[in-house]
Structures are given as C-alpha cells and as structure tokens.
A and B are shown apart, each in its own frame.
Chain A
C-alpha cells in the first residue's frame, strides 16, 4: 500500500499555541487509528506564511514557500484543519489561507475540523462557521468536530474521547483515499469546449 498523505493546517498565532497542541493531538490520534498504514505528514503553520498569504491576496500569486504549502494541503488524502475562534468565527488568517486556494482544490477532501477558544461557549463555531466553509468547497467535513476550550486542557475526560472519535473517522476516509495519487490536468478543457464556440464555424 502506498503511503497516505496527511496535511495539517494550524492557524494558532502564539508560540507555543494551544491550536497547534490540538492539531498535534489530532494528528497523533489519526496516525494511531490508521494502524500500520504508512503516513506522510505535512504540517502547515499559517503563522509562518502569514506574510505570503497577504501578499498572495494582493498580487494573485503564491510565493514559492506558500505554493509548497498549498500543494501539500490540496494534494493530500486527508486534512486536519484547526483554527482559534476569534470573535465568533475562524481567524482571519485561517480564512485568508482558504481564500487563496483554488475553490475546486479541496473537492472531495476529507477534513477533520478542529478549533480552540478561551471558553466552551464558542464550541458551536465549528458547526456554524467552519462546516459551511468546507461544505461550500465540496470537501467532506467529518461528522465529529473537536473543540478545545482552555478548561479542556485541565479536564480528565471529554477531550481525549472526542479526539479519538474524530481521528477514527478521518482515518477511515484516508485509508481508502486515492486523492493524492490523482493527477490533475491544469489545462483540461471543459467538456464540450470548441475553439469556435457553441454555434460552430458556420
């Protein structure tokens, strides 16, 4: 079996960040759940490419560093996407990164949604903000999202169970995915395209 590619996008701004901490926990659990399947993991810390993301918004093209991150994310078999919740939603940096992706690039991508926040009151942000975003992109957002409030890191139960459940859902998708092996032709013409138009050369 060929190695599966797993991409991890984490939008935490501090270092170390609890967002990265959650991303790492989700990644470890997913690898465990994949049980023996070889996995190549690419972690994209958006903080490291924050300037490049802004420049891409302004110029329309990705720097080589950002392009490498985009290729790793869009060419993966599965994606773990974790953002802090700011002012009731995903962070601006997280959304900006999603905005520079080709809108078709995540089609069919299994995505484990994760989020962190100061209090558990924002836990539904995964379902009212993140989930519609990935639905729009035709990604496969997995049923279990994992929200970690500050208090969860000092709690004996709950978070670990959610991580394990979400990871097993992602692992099941990644195990059978052939996404990373698909070769996409950037010059594929739309079906039925004619260089003289629908009415022909007349």
Chain B
C-alpha cells in the first residue's frame, strides 16, 4: 500500500491574511512540499497539469525531474497528465526520459482535464474527449512497448517506422493509472489494459465511486488480468489535522469557506459528512481512511490533497509532518491487517521488472511444451 500526496498547483490567496504567493514562490513551495513528503516517509508525490491561471504546473516533467534529482525514494507521478490534448508521442518521450533520470521512480496518471478551453487552445474539440483519451493512449501504449511503430489514427499525423526515445528504462514502461470521476469508458480502458484506476473521490460522495470502482474491478477480471480483488485501485483524500479536533476545525474553516472548488457552498460539516475530507484530530483521519477499504476493497494507493485553498507553506509542512509521522504509519498497519496475500502491492518499477522477468521465464518454459502459443502472448 502506497501513501502520498497530490497537488493541483493552484496559486490561491490565503483568506486569513489576504496574501497571495507569486508563481515563483508557489513553484518553489511545490518542490519543498515534495521533498518534505519524502522526508516524512510518504511514498508518492503527484503533480497536476494545467494550462491556465491560477495554476502553475504546465510542465510537469520539468518539475518532477528537478524533484527527482533531490530525492532518493519518492515515486513521482502525475494527477493528471492530459492524454487528450498532449501529443501521445511527446508523453512517451517526456516520461521515458523522466523515468531514466529518476531511476524508475515514475508513474503516470492519465486524465482528460476539466477545463473546457484547453481543448481548443491545443487544437482539439472537447466533444472528442473520450475518443481522444482512448486513441492517444492506444498509441502511447504501443510506443513504449514496440521499438518501431506504424500508426494511423483519427487525431494525429500517421507514423511510419517511428521509434520514440529514450526507450523505457529496463524495457519496462512507467506504470499507468487512468483517472476518472464518472466515465465508465475510462474504467473500461483501464481494465482492458490491466492498468491502474484512480478515482479522485475527494469532492463527491462515496456511493458513486463504490459503483465505479466495482465496475472497473469486474472488467479487470473480465479481461483476464487477475481477480477483481487484484485490480489496481487508487483513491484521493483530503485532511486537515491538529492535535485537538476543534483547533483543526477553527483553523481550517476560513480556508474551506473560501476554497475555489467548494467554497461558499455546503457547510464544512455537511461536506466532511458526505466526502472523504476530514478536519479534526489525527485519530479521526485514521478512522476515516482505515474504513476506505470496507467501501472500495483492498487498494494500492492513497493520495492526499494537502496544499490547496491558500494554506501557507508553513502550515502545509506541519500537516505533512502529522500525516507522515502520526497517520500513515498507523494506516500502514491497519491496511496490512487481513489483507489477502494475492492482492498486489502498489506498483513500483522494481516489481514491474521482476514481473516481466518472471513472465519471460514462464513463457520460455511453456514454449518448450507448446511453441505455437508464444506469438499470441508477445503480441
């Protein structure tokens, strides 16, 4: 089970003192936050991609490469990489490069993006969102697995004998998550490839995601990648903590009330009752998140949104201390209790290389018996 943080990289005014960080300050703060995540023992730092203010993360691999150079164990991921409006060829190149520089500590979460104008800005049509996500990923998947690719599709220029470089580290592509909050097509896509499915459940009630994740698990099994319980699931989360519950409530309320996404809407009490947002003591956060697997099954990755709504860097770092020192160690133990041995751990490059090598060995052994079958397996 992997624990980490994800950020949308928003530049938001602190409602308590009306100060706003500059883009430069926010960019450097993100680096500080990522390094802090590693320092407090978290496994993953995931960065969003946006192409409009107030967000600063338009070039995720630049920032993740910079963070990779200053960390040793942290897995660097995205939340999300826009599979709709980016050229899949460039994604293949950028993330393979990052994967080499980070010694394999890289995976990618594909998403369609929720900002309508980004599509026309990059020459696409938002009504093609799903077909773009499907076709672009089909190409990306091949570029990382086949040395020379002939390609024809609807949305980009054809390729003849194209080789994307660098080739993935150790011949094993970065693990891919597909993020979606409502589209069964994306859950189907993730299941088809045996990729991970990340449900960013932080803004909506759990019942919706229970159905969506259950659907993905069933389809994962249908496509023969393992049992439904073995599908690779990631979830989002949000928390604000202080030693005393009421202190957390009092301190976080002005941020909640003015937050870009849910501010000026439901009360913090209603929102915490209906979504994973937990504002209170570390124990309350532990209780809420330890219960997640009862709703969603044993899963592989839990990411928390910790640095939004204008929270100052100092506060975010304090929150990461609490998360890393008081919450996650307990959650690791809780999640390990009665976790079936055949439920996979969170994906790592090392594990994927080992799995590939094991598959090659078993393929070699089976090919001694039935050589005709190998062509199908390698296709």
Q: Which residues of A approach B to under 8 Å, CB–CB? A: 54-55, 58-61, 63-64, 186-190, 193-199, 201-202
A63 vs B185: C-alpha distance when bound (angstroms)? 26
CB of A192, distance to nearest CB on chain B (Å):
11
A-facing residues in B319-376 (Cβ within 8 Å): none
The answer to whether A193 and B265 touch (CB under 8 A), given A60-B204, A198-B131, A202-B151, is no
Which segment, of B116-124, B187-195, B245-253, B279-287, faces chain A? B187-195
- Neighbour of A61 across the interface among B150, B152, B185, B203, CB < 8 A: B203
List 18 other contacts, CB 8 Å, given A187-B211, A195-B134.
A55-B265, A58-B265, A59-B204, A59-B262, A59-B271, A61-B203, A61-B204, A61-B205, A63-B266, A63-B274, A187-B187, A188-B184, A194-B134, A195-B192, A196-B192, A199-B153, A201-B138, A202-B151
Query: A195 and B266: CB pair below 8 A?
Result: no
In the complex, which residues of chain A have a beta carbon less than 8 angstroms from the beta carbon of B152? 199, 202
Query: C-beta contact mask, B30-52 vs A, less than 8 Å → 1, else 0?
Result: 00000000000000000000000
Determine whether B243 belongs to the interface, using a CB cutoff of 8 Å to chain A: no
Indicate if the CB atoms of A189 and B188 lie closer than 8 Å.
yes
- Which residues 116-148 of B sit at the A interface, judged by CB distance below 8 A? 131, 134-135, 138, 142
CB nearest to A57 among chain B residues: B265
> Are the CB atoms of B154 and A59 closer together than 8 Å?
no
B154 & A199 in contact (Cβ 8 Å cutoff): yes
Chain B residues with CB under 8 A of A55 = 265-266, 270
Given contacts A189-B184, A195-B192, A197-B153, contact A58 B134 (CB under 8 A): no
10 chain-A/chain-B pairs, Cβ below 8 angstroms = A58-B265, A63-B266, A186-B211, A187-B187, A195-B193, A196-B134, A198-B135, A199-B152, A199-B153, A202-B142
Chain B facing A: main interface SS: helix
Q: A187 — nearest CB in chain B belongs to which residue?
A: B184
Q: Per a CB cutoff under 8 Å, which of B135, B203, B274 touches A199?
A: B135
Residues of B within 8 A of A196 (CB): 134, 138, 192
How many interface residues does chain B have, given as a range? 20 to 34
Residues of A contacting B270 with CB < 8 Å?
55, 63
Asked whether A59 lies within 8 Å of B261 as measured between CB atoms, the reply is: yes
Contacting pair B274 A61 (CB below 8 A): yes
- Chain A residues within an 8 Å CB radius of B293: none
Most buried by B among A58, A186, A197: A197
Shortest CB–CB separation between residue B193 and chain A, in angstroms? Answer: 7
Q: Assess whether B215 is interfacial by the CB under 8 Å rule.
A: yes
Q: Which residues of A contact B208 (CB under 8 A)?
A: 61
Query: A189 vs B266: C-alpha distance in the bound complex, in angstroms?
Result: 33
Chain B residues within an 8 Å CB radius of A187: 184, 187, 211-212, 215
Contact, CB under 8 Å: B274 / A64: yes
- Taking CB atoms, residues of chain B closer than 8 Å to A194 are 134
Binary flags per residue of B202-239, CB closer than 8 Å to A gives 1, else 0: 01110010011001000000000000000000000000
Question: Given the complex of chains A and B, what is the CA–CA distance between A190 and B130 in angstroms?
Answer: 11
Which residues of chain A have C-beta atoms less than 8 A from B271's C-beta?
59
Within the complex, the shortest CB–CB distance from A128 to chain B, in Å, comes to 29
Q: Does B264 contact A (CB under 8 A)?
A: yes
Residue numbers in B under 8 Å from A60 (CB-CB): 203-204
With the chains together, A202 CA to B142 CA distance in Å? 9
Q: Given the complex of chains A and B, what is the CA–CA distance between A59 and B205 in angstroms?
A: 11
Find chain A residues with CB under 8 A from B192 CB: 195-196
Q: Which residues of B contact A186 (CB under 8 A)?
A: 184, 211
- The residue that A59 contacts in the complex, of B142, B184, B211, B265, with Cβ under 8 A, is B265
Closest residue of chain B to A62, judged by CB?
Answer: B205
How close is B174's CB to chain A, nearest CB, in angstroms? 19
Contacts of A190 in B (CB 8 A): 185
State the Cβ distance, A18 to closest chain B Cβ, in Å: 31
Q: Is A197 a contact of B135 with CB atoms below 8 Å?
A: yes
A58 to B135, CA, bound (A): 32
In order of increasing CB-CB distance, the 5 nearest A-B pairs are: A58-B265, A195-B192, A197-B135, A187-B184, A61-B204
In the assembled complex, the Cα of A202 lies from the Cα of B143 at a distance in Å of: 12
Query: Contact check: which of A54, A64, A188, A198 meets B154 at CB < 8 Å?
Result: A198
Scoring B residues 96 to 120 as 1 if CB is less than 8 Å from chain A, else 0, what string do you get?
Answer: 0000000000000000000000000
CA distance A201 to B185 in the complex (A): 16
* Cβ B150 vs Cβ A202 within 8 A: yes
Bound complex: CA A64 to CA B109 (Å): 31
Residues of chain B within 8 A of A199, CB atoms compared: 135, 138, 152-154
* Docked-complex contact B264 and A58, CB < 8 angstroms: yes
User: Which residues of B have CB within 8 Å of A201?
Assistant: 138
What CA separation (Å) do A186 and B208 show in the bound complex? 10
CA distance A195 to B270 in the complex (A): 38
A201: nearest chain-B partner, CB-CB: B138
Min CB distance, A76 to chain B, in Å? 21
**Residue numbers in A under 8 Å from B193 (CB-CB):** 195
Inside 8 A of B274's CB, which chain A residues have their CB?
A: 61, 63-64
